[in-house]
Amino acid sequence: MRRTAIQCIALAALIAAGCDNPLDIDPTDRIDSPDALTTPRALELAINGAYSALQTAALYSREVVVFPEMYADNLEFTGTFTTHQEVWQRNIFPTNGAILAAWADSYAAINDVNNVLAAIPEVEDLDEEDANRLRGEALFLRALNYLNLVRYFGGVPLVLEPSVGVGPESQVPRNTQAEVYAQIAADLEEAATLLPPDGGPGRATQAAANALLARAYLEMGGNENWTKAVQKASTVIGGGFAMVEDYGDLFAAQNTGGSIFELQYTVNDNNNLAFWYFPADLGGRYGFAPTEEVYDAYEPGDERRDVSIGVMGNGDLYARKYFRVANGDDNVIILRLSEMYLIRAEANAYLDAAPATVRADIDMVRNRAGLPDLPTTVDTQDELIDAILQERRVEFAFEGYRFFDLRRNGRATTVLGIDEDHLLFPIPQAEIDVNPNLEQNPGY
């Protein structure tokens, strides 16, 4: 075909003959969007793409895990990137590129699933079971991304349809925080009815939807939501998961019985966490280091300390839950059983449940770490919340929890000394530049 085309053109001055247009060239590595999601297999591939979209440096391969720890008191900045330094100094400029990347990557992942959601009814030969599961996975992933967004930024624009153009309709205003949470809850409630019970922890399951619901309801707060958080956490706890005996196995063995949703990494996915947490002598870049404070937060005998923190010969601390620095294939556990106990404990504490009930859930987590039960003297709501926060701090250290835990319980200003205006990250300036309908968060 090419040969004919060349001849035709070279002789164009002589012959006005029809021939294949040599300017018609198709890409070899991409496909036109309208032709992309037209088969059941294509939908499966697109859902793979949506999981893959969580694996960027701004999301689970680094910053969604690091920033909530560094903005609080678990990690300190030891690197060179000013975008990271600003987070550590709790002085994030709206121009911070890492914050923009988190915003952009979350919405890219959301667009992935919005396309899948829109395509499912259009694809022929898709059997109902697959259609339900695909829709469930898509809704779960959309909710996960919105939960990340709403915790970073507060109310964000809710985009629920695939993007086809960039006209004025793309300049969406912010929804309220309540609206975003309502959408998260609605997506997850539906996902919980659609998703299969098994297939985890690498993929969304019914339990994963319920667990994420528990987390979302706890964040939303208020008696009604605390009650739902207790229900959802209990559903998951009673759903056949078991606390893995050795805390270290969560990370060393991976995909253990205590893991509800665990983002899978292979050598081809390039998880940056170990590289950025490890010191140079161990082959890392040492961009972030545990604070002395978090090291000291572990009670004597807590098995989790040495799993979580390593000490170099020169005294430097380093986080070592993610340790596969060579291949970058550490999974990232996004939801696990111990969080369900602690969610239930926290919600119960706010619902004024019996302190023993609350302590029993906390002790589940403590005992696994080789620690004794909490003393029964811990029995006021404040004391229980403090105990839960302490437990969450050491259980989930360097996994992306700490700042949200403090903020949710009204402790961020007192523990961290952050002023009220910096409890949310700034809306990225670059985004406001292209979308004047976006309002900046106060204080920026």
Mask 276-315, x = binds other proteins (CB under 8 A)? --x-xxxxxx------------------------------
Looking at the Cβ atoms of 225 and 271, the one nearer to other proteins is: 271
> In whole angstroms, what is the distance from residue 40 CA to residue 37 CA?
8
Contact between 155 and other proteins (CB under 8 A)?
no
> In whole angstroms, what is the distance from residue 355 CA to residue 358 CA?
5
Q: Which residues on neighbouring strands pair with residue 442, listed in sequence order?
A: none
Contact between 19 and other proteins (CB under 8 A)?
no
Looking at the Cβ atoms of 77 and 341, the one nearer to other proteins is: 77
Looking at the Cβ atoms of 17 and 300, the one nearer to other proteins is: 17
Contact between 18 and other proteins (CB under 8 A)?
no
Contact between 160 and other proteins (CB under 8 A)?
no
Instruction: Compute the chain's Rg from CA coordinates.
Output: 24
- Shortest Å, Cβ 155 to other proteins: 13
Q: Which amino acid is at 29?
A: D
DSSP 175-193: PPHHHHHHHHHHHHHHHHH
- Of the residues 36, 182, 312, 418, which one makes contact with other proteins according to CB under 8 A: 36
76 CB-side CA count, 13 A: 10
- Of the residues 45, 160, 253, 356, which one makes contact with other proteins according to CB under 8 A: 45
CB-based contacts of 372: which residues, under 8 Å, 6+ apart? 366
- Shortest Å, Cβ 373 to other proteins: 40
- Of the residues 1, 16, 17, 30, which one makes contact with other proteins according to CB under 8 A: 30
Q: Which residues between 184 and 223 bind other proteins (CB under 8 A)?
A: 202
The tokens for 421 are 């205006």
| Coil vs helix vs strand at 281 | helix
Return the range that interacts with other proteins (CB under 8 A); candidates 241-249, 271-279, 293-301, 362-370.
Answer: 271-279
- H or E element: which one contains 360? helix 355-368
> In whole angstroms, what is the distance from residue 313 CA to residue 339 CA?
33
The CA distances from residue 355 to 100, 119, 129, 215, 348, in Å, are 43, 49, 44, 21, 9
Looking at the Cβ atoms of 300 and 313, the one nearer to other proteins is: 313
- Shortest Å, Cβ 355 to other proteins: 40
Contact between 16 and other proteins (CB under 8 A)?
no
Return the range that interacts with other proteins (CB under 8 A); candidates 254-262, 337-345, 361-369, 429-437.
Answer: 429-437
Identify the DSSP state of 438. Answer: P
Q: Which residues between 74 and 103 bind other proteins (CB under 8 A)?
A: 80, 89, 91, 93-95, 100, 103
Which pairs with CB-CB distance under 8 Å and at least 24 residues apart come from 226-232? 226/347, 226/348, 226/350, 226/351, 227/347, 227/351, 229/343, 229/344, 229/346, 229/347, 230/344, 230/347, 230/348, 230/351
Contact between 176 and other proteins (CB under 8 A)?
no
Looking at the Cβ atoms of 282 and 378, the one nearer to other proteins is: 282
Looking at the Cβ atoms of 150 and 325, the one nearer to other proteins is: 325
Write b or e for each residue in 195-221: b if 16 or more Cβ atoms lie within 10 A of its Cβ, otherwise e: beeeebbebbbbbbbbbbbbbbbbbbb
Contact between 275 and other proteins (CB under 8 A)?
yes
- Shortest Å, Cβ 103 to other proteins: 6
**Cβ contact 228:346 at 8 Å:** no
Contact between 413 and other proteins (CB under 8 A)?
no
- Of the residues 19, 42, 182, 360, which one makes contact with other proteins according to CB under 8 A: 42
- Shortest Å, Cβ 47 to other proteins: 8
Q: Which residues between 93 and 152 bind other proteins (CB under 8 A)?
A: 93-95, 100, 103-104, 107-112, 114-115
The tokens for 335 are 């939801």
DSSP 394-417: HHSTTSS-HHHHHHHTT-IIIII-
> In whole angstroms, what is the distance from residue 99 CA to residue 235 CA?
35
Contact between 165 and other proteins (CB under 8 A)?
yes
Contact between 32 and other proteins (CB under 8 A)?
yes
Contact between 247 and other proteins (CB under 8 A)?
no
End-to-end distance of the chain based on CA atoms, in angstroms? Answer: 60
- Of the residues 24, 127, 128, 296, which one makes contact with other proteins according to CB under 8 A: 24
Looking at the Cβ atoms of 10 and 354, the one nearer to other proteins is: 10
Contact between 166 and other proteins (CB under 8 A)?
yes
> In whole angstroms, what is the distance from residue 74 CA to residue 212 CA?
23
Q: Which residues between 48 and 67 bind other proteins (CB under 8 A)?
A: 48-53, 55
- Shortest Å, Cβ 6 to other proteins: 6
